[in-house]
Structure 1
Amino acid sequence: MDSADSPTKTQSSEDENYSLLCQAHEQFNNTEYDRCLELLQQLDTKGESSGPILRHNRAVVNFYKSGCTQHATLLQELEELATDVKAPQGMGETGGGLSLKQGASAATVARYNKAVIYYHRHMYGTALEKLAPLVARLEALEKAMSALVATLQLQLLLATNQLNRAEAFLDYLQYTLNLVDKAPSSNPDEVVPATATTAAATPSTVVAAQGSDAAVARAAGDTSGSLQLLQLLTHVLNRKPVVITEDGTPHYAALRAQQYYIMKDFQMAAKQLMRINNECTQAGTVTPQLSTCIANNMGVIHLRVRHYAIAAKFFQNALNFDKQLASNLRESTLQTMSSAHSCEILYNLGIAMLHLRRPKEAFQCLLVPVKQFHSNPRLWLRMAEACIMEHEANLAEDERQSLAGAASPPSSRTYAPQSAGVPEPTLEFAALCLRSALTLTLHHKASFHMDATQEETPEQTEHAHRSWRQLQDNNFCNPSKPVSLESLENMLAAIYAAHSFVSLRLGDHVTALDMAEHLLRGERLSDAHKLLGHMYAGEALMLMDKAAEARDHLDPTFVSSLDAFDLETRDWQLKSLDAAQNVVRYNLAVAMTLQNDYQQAKTFLATLTHSIVSIKALALRRYIDLKLGAAANAVSAGALS
């Protein structure tokens, strides 16, 4: 007896069982769940041979009867069913119970439903793992069931930013399985405008294993439109030229906005989103999910054009809408749970707050997504930047209060290494964040896939089947898009620079020098990072009583070779080559002073004219005058100032 098979019509009793199962299916579609359970109970009482199918369907019906909220109970029952009935290992229809007349086997549909539950719970890695055995034998599945599995697999690939694999998988579906048609390509002579939004693809739903001919086919019919939408979304995210024809629904309109954004037509992207909002408001179809999506994507657009305050406002609005969805996730439906995106929104808000120089708020925002995206090195770097910004703001405030006489001159700030593990915006925690960011980045760099952008030929061959599995995406910065090699090198340089700076502040001069030297050995190093590397290395060497070696890093001649544009476009104090030259000369004067080369140091100090070093240069000049025994000159200079 094959416990995974549905009833057949070979005998009179089996005809009756088949009829009861069809009635149960009809009652289920009519949301008459109590009646459906009664019919399933009759089948169970009659000793129907397909026990696993009845157990599975009862679990699904009870799940829908609860309002789709008892997903934990359903998941537990599906796991128990999987232990009792092994999934079919064969590739043919008989072993897998995969013909349309039989319906999908209980084990097959149960595995699919488990993947659906994990998908809605944002556990995408687990969902991919659960779905993998079905994807591996996708060609052996009945076409309706394979459409369900393919749709969910494509959703998971896009949700995890595996864009290249999604594109290759789509080719496999199109040319090998014929599940999707070719997407309409835009005219090469036509300029395609562009926008940014997440197209809300139809979420996958839990399905029941049925015995009627319309069993899985009806569920698969619901996914046909979703698969077409996912096909277009995949092409848009991979920057493929496609024509998006709107059908009056927000899904295709939002996809058009996504296309505008990717093509950097931000004005049209914003107009498209506002049009969606206005049309849905007039039609009375606005939902918290739609409002959250629109507000977040409007924030992304304004963040992209550096309207940081406006972006922060949109992100805050998106969080307010999202709270309506996430107020009680334990009692929420699966689809409501999948619509909650507070982690991603808080990530965006944290970035906006960093640009607005509000480090405390940025740190608190980033604390939430780091729990979910803890393997994202860029997120750890952003948290460290918030810590550094908060520390520097506190130092500046102490200095202002000291100059105003509101407080006594601050003594050297003490640090508490034992508090490094406490998630507070301190330099100690910044050092911990930077160690995590560096470890993750070096690991990802070692396994970086240079062929991530390789395109697959659209030929209908067995090689196309294998190629999508072999492709890899550099998607280690989720929820951000895959990282290019240039972005990886820039991120690594930023980590080294920040790590060196924090180590200098904490008095760890050896680590500061080591990080600065690694920075200077970096590939594709920008002129700004080159300047910082020499500055931090020189300062670390001076603090280690190696002033002679420090002077090698503080040669003013290398500054003149730097690109002024690279300095001017950075969000920092050194906005010109003149400012950079003055800072380097000041530090060189300090190194000369430490070597007792006072006359040469005074010569360099006399050339400093920029306000960024004027106060420090005056203090150093007084110190040198005192060392030279010219106390009178020092007092006179003090009176003049």
Structure 2
Amino acid sequence: MSTEESASGSYFGVTEQELELARSAKEAFDNHRYENCLSVLKKLVELRREDARVTHNKAVAQYLLSNLTKTDEFRRTLESVEAQFEHDAKGGGSESVSPISVTEKGVLLFNKALIHQRLHQNSKARVILEQLFSVFEALPKHLGVQVCLLLTEVYVSTYELSRASDNIEILERRLFGGSLNNGGGRGDKEGDGRGSNDMDKHKAQLYQFRARLNLLHKNIKQCKKEVKSLTAITGPTACGQFLKANVEFLRGNYMKAFKVLSSAPKNPIVTDAGECLSSFLFNDIGCIHFELGKYNLSAHYFKKAIEENDAALNGYPPLDRSTPLSGRPLSMLGVNCRHVLLYNLGLQQLYGGHPWGAFESLLEVVQVFHGNPRLWLRLAEACIAAHAKSQEEQVHQMRNKSSTVQVVLGSGPHRKLIITPMQWPAKKSPDIQSNSAAMPGPTLEFASICLQNALFLLPSLPQSNGDEPEDERILPTVNALPGPPIKGQSILDLKSCILSCKAYVSLGLGDPIVALGAAKQLLDTPRLPGGLRYVAKLYLAESYIQMGSIQEALQHLTPDIVTDLEISRVPLVNPEVERVEPPAPRPTSSGVTGFPGSISDAKATLLLNLSSVYCMQKDYELAKKALYQAISILGPVKLPRQAILLSAYVEIMTGNMSKAIQVIKTHRPLVPTRSL
């Protein structure tokens, strides 16, 4: 916190007694004797009731004396003092009160911004700090440096990296007369600099900012230099260990990153900046196991991180609803990162094949980060994965021949086999008590609402001819807290994934018209990856089939359209980063098998769909030909139950009853053998 240097004798209308009290208050404040400072300021307030500066200083002393626990009261006082400042600036103040200076107003605004930043209200803090930054040169050096440092922290937290880099350069010129690497410049002892200890502290802050920026830019080599410079000043610290671990993490050296984190403190230490180190530790270990493909183990560590976060909060009394910012120190008000950890946990559960747990986690997160379109997509994917998993369980139960035949009726020549029908009821959570689509539940109906929200949050993109690279066009940026903003080609990739999910959900809900529109819009996306083009063709054909347009469906089921199964054009890592270990392969369909693992499998899926369409046209010879081609690609082991039933159906419709019975008995289609 800062306070006005009230001992200045430049104010008119100040008596010698008032001036002496102001000097005594400042001396006690500088020596951290806040109780003495407050008693002196109370006397000064009695003498200068209309002076908002004295009221502000008294509020600061009271706040520090309470160990920063009475934040509600302090904020109300700041608002009152700011209103009084505005009143005095318009000429409505007493003649005995001197005009408000830039410094005095700057201290008040800085205090407000600091509270906003500690509460993670970065947008509000940014507005105030940018207002102060516009008069940066007019501020005293110490206050100007604090403003610039806090604004840099806000920029880094909101991923505005270019502005943060500009601020660092300004700080280097302000403190050291040039580059930080040149050592102590003209700023070491001049003005209100606080000595070499303060200069070393500022150097450490700047090296830390530069290391974090290089991490976000994935500039590993430069980041290692900054961390080394930071360690040379501060020695081994938790911050340095976390930065080193992040460097190794980006390089793909996950075991070394784990080793570095193992030496970090594991007790629930909360720093002055409101960071629970033990929670951060388990979060980072969870990220390491995620990259290693160990999703259940990763989820375990994220749960431990949540436990550490809750334990840090439980060490303080619960907050009162009437005064939610009082009772705990200011640093503890922003320590709660439960929803960020829940976001990570939900993703692990989604990748690990636990969609119902992922839904519960992400549903809690979306109440806080409701402006993140990627989060709405993940929530919809959890609903889709729950629906697909229920289908997978049914398929697993019907893989043997005993489950294919539901019942046998009659005997002898009158013996008939009743085939088990293919039904796909969506599995709903047992907690869902209402059938309303608006009620949160892992259903396709709720997934449709989530996808609509995700599309609504995405901006309209400029038109493109499809040939120019997306990174050369000016595309808007979408905030996606708690993660980095979405920009460039990533916006198109995100929208493509949303449209593909929308087409799938609409087909599952029996709405082929909406699915058709989503599939067409997906195919019109410039530079659409091959994997999404493949599913768009499948959804487009299925939509036409449900609408009875068989000829249009046939046009989109040609196996030659499958060229690649790439999902995203954006690389997951910087190609310039030297990776020690290759990234672990990601599971398909959020832990639910179903998406083709190879181009040949994708072509076989198209051929099976093509065979079904030929059966609907009663062209059974072409249906049999397409079916045999699919069987030759997949083989008898990977053949789905639908293909076996389709083979039996084709044999029945072509009059080969004995072959159809043999297919059902052996649970394997008959493929003609080549003659020698």
Shorter-chain TM band: 0.7 to 0.9
Structure 1 pair 89–424 and aligned structure 2 pair: CA distance change class (3 A): farther
2-side partners of 1:47 and 1:542: how far apart? Answer: 84
* Mapping for residues 568-587 of structure 1, pairs under 5 Å: 571=588, 572-573=593-594, 574-587=596-609
Find the counterpart in structure 2 of residue 562 from structure 1.
564
One-letter amino acid matched to 1:182: S
1:301: how far off? 2.2
1:179: how far off? 6.5
* Mapping for residues 266-277 of structure 1, pairs under 5 Å: 266-277=254-265
Find the counterpart in structure 1 of residue 671 from structure 2.
none
Structure 1 pair 630–304 and aligned structure 2 pair: CA distance change class (3 A): closer
* Mapping for residues 294-333 of structure 1, pairs under 5 Å: 294-327=281-314, 328=318, 330=324, 331-333=327-329
| Contact 1:24 1:39 survives alignment (8 Å) | yes
Find the counterpart in structure 2 of residue 490 from structure 1.
493
2-side partners of 1:580 and 1:353: how far apart? Answer: 27
SS of residue matched to 2:263: helix
1:28: how far off? 3.7
| Contact 1:582 1:613 survives alignment (8 Å) | no
1:543: how far off? 0.8
| Contact 2:475 2:488 survives alignment (8 Å) | no
One-letter amino acid matched to 2:528: L
Find the counterpart in structure 2 of residue 508 from structure 1.
511
Find the counterpart in structure 1 of residue 349 from structure 2.
353
Find the counterpart in structure 2 of residue 83 from structure 1.
83
| Contact 2:7 2:26 survives alignment (8 Å) | no
2-side partners of 1:451 and 1:623: how far apart? Answer: 48
Which of 443, 467, 479 is the aligned partner of 1:426? 443
Find the counterpart in structure 2 of residue 127 from structure 1.
125
SS of residue matched to 1:243: helix
Find the counterpart in structure 2 of residue 481 from structure 1.
484
Structure 1 pair 239–173 and aligned structure 2 pair: CA distance change class (3 A): farther
Find the counterpart in structure 2 of residue 257 from structure 1.
245
**Structure 2 length as normaliser, TM-score?**
0.76
* Mapping for residues 342-421 of structure 1, pairs under 5 Å: 342-400=338-396, 413=425, 419-421=436-438
2-side partners of 1:452 and 1:532: how far apart? Answer: 22
* Mapping for residues 436-455 of structure 1, pairs under 5 Å: 436-443=453-460
Find the counterpart in structure 1 of residue 37 from structure 2.
36
Find the counterpart in structure 1 of residue 20 from structure 2.
19
Find the counterpart in structure 2 of residue 540 from structure 1.
543
Structure 1 pair 639–489 and aligned structure 2 pair: CA distance change class (3 A): same
Q: Deviations over 1:350-400 (max 9, x none)?
A: 111111111111112212322222221111111111111111112333455
SS of residue matched to 1:480: coil
One-letter amino acid matched to 1:270: F
1-side partners of 2:249 and 2:14: how far apart? Answer: 61
Q: Deviations over 1:576-620 (max 9, x none)?
A: 223212110010111112222222112212223224444212212
One-letter amino acid matched to 1:67: N
| Contact 1:164 1:472 survives alignment (8 Å) | no
Find the counterpart in structure 2 of residue 624 from structure 1.
650
Structure 1 pair 12–75 and aligned structure 2 pair: CA distance change class (3 A): closer
Q: Deviations over 1:477-501 (max 9, x none)?
A: 2222243523333222221211111
2-side partners of 1:97 and 1:215: how far apart? Answer: 21
In the alignment, does 2:260 pair up with 1:243? no
1-side partners of 2:193 and 2:43: how far apart? Answer: 20
Structure 1 pair 614–390 and aligned structure 2 pair: CA distance change class (3 A): closer
Find the counterpart in structure 1 of residue 415 from structure 2.
none
1-side partners of 2:151 and 2:503: how far apart? Answer: 43
The structure that is helix-richer by fraction is 1
Structure 1 pair 565–239 and aligned structure 2 pair: CA distance change class (3 A): closer
One-letter amino acid matched to 2:20: S
1-side partners of 2:109 and 2:509: how far apart? Answer: 52
| Contact 2:529 2:566 survives alignment (8 Å) | no
2-side partners of 1:303 and 1:432: how far apart? Answer: 29
Which of 167, 170, 173 is the aligned partner of 2:171? 173
Structure 1 pair 124–378 and aligned structure 2 pair: CA distance change class (3 A): same
One-letter amino acid matched to 2:73: T
SS of residue matched to 1:607: helix
2-side partners of 1:156 and 1:565: how far apart? Answer: 34
Moved more, 236-245 or 11-20: 11-20
One-letter amino acid matched to 2:650: I
Structure 1 pair 52–250 and aligned structure 2 pair: CA distance change class (3 A): same
Q: Deviations over 1:13-32 (max 9, x none)?
A: 64443332233234345554
| Contact 1:288 1:324 survives alignment (8 Å) | no
| Contact 2:376 2:453 survives alignment (8 Å) | yes
In the alignment, does 2:62 pair up with 1:62? yes
Q: Percent identity?
A: 26
Structure 1 pair 536–58 and aligned structure 2 pair: CA distance change class (3 A): same
One-letter amino acid matched to 2:21: L
| Contact 2:371 2:457 survives alignment (8 Å) | yes
Structure 1 pair 115–598 and aligned structure 2 pair: CA distance change class (3 A): same
1:7: how far off? 5.0
SS of residue matched to 1:302: helix
Q: Could you say what the CA RMSD is over the residues aligned between the two structures, in angstroms?
A: 4.0
**Runs of at least 5 residues in structure 2 that lack an aligned partner in the other structure:** 91-97, 183-190, 407-419, 429-433, 569-584, 668-676
Structure 1 pair 636–231 and aligned structure 2 pair: CA distance change class (3 A): closer
Moved more, 486-495 or 27-36: 27-36
Structure 1 pair 630–68 and aligned structure 2 pair: CA distance change class (3 A): same
2-side partners of 1:513 and 1:426: how far apart? Answer: 21
One-letter amino acid matched to 1:578: S
1-side partners of 2:638 and 2:522: how far apart? Answer: 25
Structure 1 pair 130–223 and aligned structure 2 pair: CA distance change class (3 A): farther
How many pairs were matched up? Answer: 577
SS of residue matched to 1:608: helix
Q: Deviations over 1:559-585 (max 9, x none)?
A: 3x336999x976243112232121100
| Contact 2:620 2:650 survives alignment (8 Å) | yes
Find the counterpart in structure 1 of residue 47 from structure 2.
46
Relative contact order, higher structure (CA 8 A, sep 6+): 1
**Runs of at least 5 residues in structure 1 that lack an aligned partner in the other structure:** 99-103, 186-212, 455-470
1-side partners of 2:295 and 2:424: how far apart? Answer: 35
Find the counterpart in structure 1 of residue 212 from structure 2.
233
Structure 1 pair 360–332 and aligned structure 2 pair: CA distance change class (3 A): farther
2-side partners of 1:453 and 1:489: how far apart? Answer: 11
2-side partners of 1:26 and 1:218: how far apart? Answer: 22
| Contact 2:268 2:276 survives alignment (8 Å) | no
Structure 1 pair 544–452 and aligned structure 2 pair: CA distance change class (3 A): closer
Structure 1 pair 394–378 and aligned structure 2 pair: CA distance change class (3 A): same
Q: Deviations over 1:225-270 (max 9, x none)?
A: 4345324433443345143231222223333333333444433332
One-letter amino acid matched to 2:312: L
| Contact 1:20 1:39 survives alignment (8 Å) | yes
- Which of these two proteins has the greater Rg computed from alpha carbons? 2
Structure 1 pair 36–563 and aligned structure 2 pair: CA distance change class (3 A): closer
2-side partners of 1:564 and 1:70: how far apart? Answer: 55
1-side partners of 2:502 and 2:347: how far apart? Answer: 20
Find the counterpart in structure 2 of residue 182 from structure 1.
179
Structure 1 pair 271–8 and aligned structure 2 pair: CA distance change class (3 A): same
1:548: how far off? 0.4
SS of residue matched to 1:54: helix
Structure 1 pair 438–348 and aligned structure 2 pair: CA distance change class (3 A): same
